[in-house]
Amino acid sequence: MFPFKNQAGFTLFELIVVLVLIGLMSSMVFISVSSGIFKSKEKRFVYDFRKGLLNARNRAIGTGRPVNFIIDGEKRAFGIKGKKLQDIPKSLEIKGDKIIELENGVFAITFYPDGSSSGGELELNWENGRNDLFTIGRIWAYIYHEIKSG
């Protein structure tokens, strides 16, 4: 009497297996995408950090006055002194060598109009193990970036 009696269909078990597989695959995609987003945030920060150093050097040469690129440890911010500072991520620790301390917790690299700088090294240590090293030359204020690991 029922016209669809001989047609085969999916069992409830088969549907559950398919849904579980879809769930597993989507979670794998999410993990992959989220780790890629974190890495792109790191790369973006490093790009902005290097750009800030270059802008400070160019501003000093262009204006004919010394310009300080500062790192404020208390506010967790960096940038050109007197301009809007950018935030430093919580997952990042910055260490400096031969860097001037302007005031308590505020460090600076000074760029001069003749193209030189106070020089120094800045090491960016990320939670995931990546380390970026910035070396700023004293005589020509050359900014060298090296990824040490990660």
* 27 occurs within a structural domain: no
Residue 99 belongs to some domain of the structure? yes
142: tokens are: 């050359």
Describe the strand order of the beta sheet including 92-97 as a list of residue ranges. 92-97, 120-126, 131-136, 143-149
CATH code of the domain in which 102 resides: 3.55.40.10
Q: Encode the chain (150 residues) as per-residue pLDDT tens digits.
A: 555 565 667 788 887 888 888 877 777 776 666 555 555 788 899 999 999 999 999 999 999 999 999 999 999 999 998 889 999 999 899 999 999 899 899 999 999 999 999 999 999 999 888 899 999 999 888 888 888 765
Q: What is the pTM of this model?
A: 0.72
Tokens 């700023």 belong to residue:
136
The number of distinct structural domains making up the chain is 1
Per the listing, tokens 């020089």 go with 119
- Residue 75 and residue 86: Cα distance in Å, rounded? 10
- Domain containing 77 equals 46-149
Q: Does 66 map to a domain?
A: yes
